[in-house]
């Protein structure tokens, strides 16, 4: 597999992971809200918030990974393109 295609595949995998986290984050938000509305103990609410926070942190890490991969892919594509232009007769 060519390096650009490999990076594009990795980006697609990261996108799928981000997409999978979105409903989990929404569920976590709903659980926090439901716990607060139900008058649950502060400990329970804090535990639920911590879970939501962990999911958001994971999403942020994935977005950073995606940006890194996009940058690497663009750099590789650009240097390959420049090389091909420099070696033209």
How many domains does the chain divide into?
1
pLDDT of residue 69: 92
Which of 24, 26, 19, 27 minimizes the C-alpha distance to 63?
Answer: 19
> CA geometry: angle at 21 spanning 20 and 24, to 5°?
105
Mean pLDDT across 35-63? 97
pLDDT of residue 60: 98
Angle between helical axes of 3-37 and 42-86 (0-180°, round to 10) = 160
- 69 neighbors 11 (Cβ within 8 angstroms): yes
Whole domain around residue 42: which residue ranges? 3-86
pLDDT-derived band at 54 (thresholds 50, 70, 90) equals: very high
Q: Comparing 79 with 34, which gets the higher pLDDT?
A: 34
**pLDDT tens-digit readout, 4-21:** 788 899 999 999 999 999
């Amino acid at each position: 597999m060519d390096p650009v295609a490999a990076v594009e595949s990795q980006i697609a995998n990261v996108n799928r992971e981000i997409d999978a986290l979105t409903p989990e984050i929404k569920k976590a938000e709903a659980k926090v809200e439901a716990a607060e509305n139900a008058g649950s103990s502060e400990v329970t609410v804090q535990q639920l918030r911590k879970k939501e926070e962990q999911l958001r942190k994971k999403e942020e890490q994935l977005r950073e990974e995606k940006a890194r991969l996009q940058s690497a892919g663009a750099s590789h594509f650009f240097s390959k393109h420049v090389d091909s232009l420099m070696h033209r007769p």
